[in-house]
Amino acid sequence: MRTRRTARCVFRMVAALLLLQGCGHAPDGPGSRPSVHLADRLYGQEGSDAAQGTSGSFERHRQVTRGDVQMDAVTLIAPVMVRAGLDGFSGRFTLIFAAAPVFNLGDGMQLDVLLEGQGRREPVYSRYFDAGRNAADRKWTEVRILLDLAGAEVLEIRVSGGPQGDLVADWLALAGLRLEPK
């Protein structure tokens, strides 16, 4: 009886370790496409300080803690626009990230995500964050946006001031920014 109990305990521990290491997911096989992390692919507008990703308005890797959860994030300080080239991408993808204002101050900020290509610019997501007035915005919010990248050349992310245009504390963090094949 003791041997059976020990065997069950060992089995459960091994199963838990495998799941924690990601072995519970199907491996990438032939024809499958891995997810693409976008933080290091982002660039600012040509000629702007944000072009190198080290200006005062755009930082690629900053540790941001919201709701007792710390994440490595792209930090965008309004007003800012960053882009990621989509050359070689086609088909359906899901853009996934966690978003949170860095501070609980100010009048809020606007996040807009657009796809650009073939001479047109298409808004695909928009959200207003106001951590100063809305307690729910003081934690990480998971965002999933279904995208059809056929003809898309650039993914554009913009952060702008709140309703009064006040830019005080308009810092938005985006963590785990990635494209996953659908």
- pTM of the complete model: 0.76
- What pLDDT was estimated at residue 58? 87
172 inside domain: yes
Q: Give DSSP secondary structure letters for 125-179.
A: EEEEE-TTT-GGGGS-EEEEEEEE-TT--EEEEEEEE-TT---TT-EEEEEEEEE
113 inside domain: yes
22 inside domain: no
- What pLDDT was estimated at residue 106? 84
What pLDDT band is residue 5 in, cutting at 50, 70 and 90? low
Scanning 21-163, the segments in alpha helix (DSSP H) are: none
Task: Give the chain's domain count.
Answer: 1
- What pLDDT was estimated at residue 23? 36
Amino acid at 171: W
29 inside domain: no
Among residues of the chain, what percentage have pLDDT more than 90? Answer: 58
For the cut 90, the answer to whether the pLDDT of residue 7 exceeds it is no
What average pLDDT is seen over the chain? 81
Which domain range does residue 73 map to? 34-181
Q: How many helices (H) and strands (E) does the chain have?
A: 1, 11
Distances (CA, A) of 120 to 62, 99, 115, 151: 33, 26, 8, 10
For the cut 90, the answer to whether the pLDDT of residue 27 exceeds it is no
76 inside domain: yes
27 inside domain: no
- What pLDDT was estimated at residue 45? 65
- What pLDDT was estimated at residue 112? 96
For the cut 50, the answer to whether the pLDDT of residue 129 exceeds it is yes
The domain spanning residue 81 has which CATH number?
A: 2.60.120.1060
Give 40 or 139, the one with higher predicted confidence: 139
Beta pairing partners, 161: 109
Hey, is 23 helix, strand or coil? coil
Question: What's the rounded mean pLDDT across residues 173-180?
Answer: 96
Give 28 or 137, the one with higher predicted confidence: 137
For the cut 80, the answer to whether the pLDDT of residue 99 exceeds it is yes
- What pLDDT was estimated at residue 1? 56
What pLDDT band is residue 128 in, cutting at 50, 70 and 90? very high
Give me 83's structure tokens. 């882009």
